[in-house]
Structure 1
Amino acid sequence: MSAARRTYSSPLREESARRTRITIRGAAATLFERHGYVSTTVKQIADEAGVAVRTVFTAFPDGKAQLFREALDAAVAADEPAAGMPPVRSPHALGAAAAVVDQVVGYGAAMLERAGGLLITSIESSGADPDMKRFAEDDARATAENARTLAEGLHRSGWLRADVTVDHAADVLYTLSSPQVHALLRRDCGWDVDRYRTWLADTLRSTLLR
Structure 2
Amino acid sequence: MLEPVRRTYSSPLRAESARRTRVLVRDAAARLFVDRGYVRTTVRTVAEAAGVATRTVFTAFPGGKAELFHEALAAAIEGGDDSMPTVYASASRDGDPVERILDEVVGYGADVLERAGTLMLTSIKSSGADEDMRRFAEEGARASAANAMTLAEGLAAHDLLRPEISVQRAADVLFTVVSPQVHSMLRHDCGWDIDEYRNWVKAMIRASLLH
Please give the TM-score of this superposition, normalised by the length of structure 2.
Answer: 0.88
Residue correspondence of structure 1 range 126-205 to structure 2 within 5 A? 126-205=127-206
Give SS of 2:184's match: helix
C-alpha distance in 2 between matches for 1:189 and 1:80: 28
1:186–1:192: 8 Å Cα contact kept in structure 2? yes
Equivalent residue letter for 1:30: R
Is 1:105–1:197's contact at 8 Å kept on the other side of the alignment? Answer: yes
Identity of aligned residues (%): 61
Matched, 1:124 2:128: no
Q: Could you tell me how far 1:167 is from its partner in structure 2?
A: 1.3
Per-residue CA shift, 1:132-176, capped at 9, x if unaligned?
Answer: 000000000010111111111100110101121111111100000
Query: In angstroms, what is the RMSD of aligned CA positions?
Result: 1.6
CA contact (8 A) 1:98 1:205 kept: no
Q: Counterpart in 2 of 1:18?
A: 19
Cα separation, 1, equivalents of 2:198 and 2:174: 14
Deviating beyond 3 angstroms after TM superposition, the runs of 4 or more aligned structure 1 residues are 6-9
Shift of 1:207: 1.6
Distance in 1, Cα, partners of 2:98 & 2:147: 17
5+ residue gaps in structure 2? 1-6, 83-94
Separation in structure 2 between the aligned mates of residue 164 and residue 140 of structure 1, nearest angstrom: 22
Listed as ranges, the gaps of 5+ residues in structure 1 are: 1-5, 82-93
Structure-2 separation of matches of 1:162 and 1:26: 47
Cα distance, 1:95 vs structure 2: 2.2
| Counterpart-to-counterpart distance in 2, 1:138 and 1:52 | 32
Q: Which amino acid aligns with 1:189?
A: C
Counterpart CA distance in 2 for 1:97 and 1:65 is 41
Tell me the residue number matched to 1:108.
Answer: 109
Aligned length: 193
